Amino acid sequence: MAGKGHLRMRELIFSADGTGRLPLPDRCPVDLACLNEPEVQEAVMQILEENLYVAAFAGIDLKALDGITVATDCQAAACALQNLPTGQVPLEMSEQPDAMEMARTAAVRRNGDLRFHIVVRPGLVLLAMSPDPAMQRLARGCLAHEAAHVEHESHLYRMFPDSYGKPLECGDRSRQTYLKAMDVWSEYAACRSSAMFRPEAIEEFEGILCRALEESPAAATEQIRMHREGRSAGDAFREIQQIFGDAFIHAGYLLGHVHGVEQRLKDCTPRLNEILTRNPELKSLMERLERVLHELWLQEFAWHSIEVFAPVYDLICERMSQCGLVFVRHNDEWRVVIYEE
């Protein structure tokens, strides 16, 4: 039930005595500081409550949900929740053309335990109130996606508690690209768990992935050119990893959504099929990525170590190699070099 009173902080109560039967937290604080009108606050509370119930009924486990914040700047709000120093932001995907972030999920420490907080833009909840069914599905799908992040990220933390907030033990590998490999899984799992809420998103995710596959080789080559003209090797190295890592994250979105609606990739992605047909090496790589992610899904509750993400890391490196780039290590420093060097 939505808490009463027109305050910045409100509360959804799903179980007053801790005996709730659905996979929901007993209480869910909601920060509505960016909304001034009491009537709007009440409507937003109802929308959020309804969507959390729908996600829970669909089987998404929200027991680790810390709360929800409605904020105009999702990144800034998430960084504040995580107590990050001013100017420091977590490693994440680059902003996409013609796209605006509508929500994100942040890990937060509460009394020594790790919980997960959803941050949403006001526009998202307004979409949920729209009379247009397509807009309602978009909002519900986005909220369900973040709810699925709460489930899968909390499971990852329970399996590997040292993977959050501490140096990542990723072996003799680039930490940045290994984190990207983990993000590929994260988006795959969240999409697979929430795809039923908006099946039509396959076409959208296909378009984004196709653009990333087509543009990433030239974008990486441009970073090499800029390095030769004076840009630091460290900056070029970070950007190249970002370019290829993000392309794989887009693949995670698409594959998770396709598997979530129980389709076959080749049956619902004609534009991607055309690209892969022209590039047999890339096609083989995508097929192996699909198989690896599906296996991670099947074995999620039996993972043995953080090494389970190494096959995704290896595929990202292989894609870079297909484009003429390779990781090398000199003492304690990683670099990306082009084959001709």
Report pLDDT digits (tens) over 183-206: 999 999 999 999 999 999 999 999
Whether 3 shows a pLDDT value over 70: the answer reads: no
| Total residues found in the chain within this entry | 341
Task: Supply the pLDDT for residue 175.
Answer: 87
Angle of helix 201-228 relative to helix 233-260, nearest 10 degrees, comes to 170
Confidence of residue 238 (pLDDT cuts 50, 70, 90): confident
Instruction: Determine whether 319 is exposed, middle or buried from the number of CB atoms within 10 Å of its CB (0-12, 13-18, 19+).
Output: buried
Tell me the average pLDDT across 223-251: 86
Report pLDDT digits (tens) over 138-184: 999 999 999 999 999 999 999 988 777 677 778 788 888 999 999 99
3-state DSSP call for residue 65?
strand
- Domain boundaries defined on the chain: 9-163, 175-338
- For the chain, what is the mean pLDDT? 88
The pTM assigned to this predicted structure is 0.91
| Degrees, nearest 5: CA angle 235-239-244 | 155
Task: Supply the pLDDT for residue 330.
Answer: 64
Task: Supply the pLDDT for residue 1.
Answer: 42
Task: Supply the pLDDT for residue 334.
Answer: 61
Confidence of residue 232 (pLDDT cuts 50, 70, 90): confident
Q: 21 or 207: which carries more pLDDT confidence?
A: 207
The percent of residues above 90 in pLDDT, for the chain, comes to 65
Q: How far apart are CA 98 and CA 121, in angstroms?
A: 17
